[in-house]
Amino acid sequence: MPFRVGIDLVAAVTVADALAAHGEHYLTRVYREGEIADCGGAAAPDPLRLAARFAAKEAALKVLRAGDAAVPFSAIEVVRGPDGAPELTLHGPAAELAAATGLTGFAVSLTHERDYASAVVIAEA
């Protein structure tokens, strides 16, 4: 069965700089409420953990092959499954694009080390 794979790498300093420049506006434009809470909350967000989620959003966009489609980052959400492992949930335009292209069975893996975070997203096509 065919698969699509996306990968992305993000420097935590990039997220830290966005937080410093745009604060809560950046958080709410890019991340969903549960993601913000899972990364330390709006008062003290962890740039490295947010970078891993940003990498997952970018990797998911590559899998979706969004191109010029208007898919906001907040339409792609990293949630914790019952066992604590990360899972991907698509909302609105991201879910619609996945359905239109026949993508199902999304899986995500996150990693971070020191100053960098990475994510891989796989979907069944």
Taking only the tens place, the pLDDT of each residue in 91-100 is 999 999 999 9
Decide if 50 contacts 56 (C-beta within 8 A). no
Rg for the chain (alpha carbons), in Å?
14
| Average of per-residue pLDDT values in the chain | 95
Q: What CATH architecture is 3-124?
A: Alpha-Beta Complex (3.90)
Provide the pLDDT for residue 70.
87
54 burial level (CB within 10 Å; 0-12, 13-18, 19+): buried
Whole-number Å distance between alpha carbons of 50 and 15 = 7
76, 51, 79, 120 alpha-carbon torsion, rounded to 10°: 70
pLDDT band at 66, cuts 50/70/90?
confident
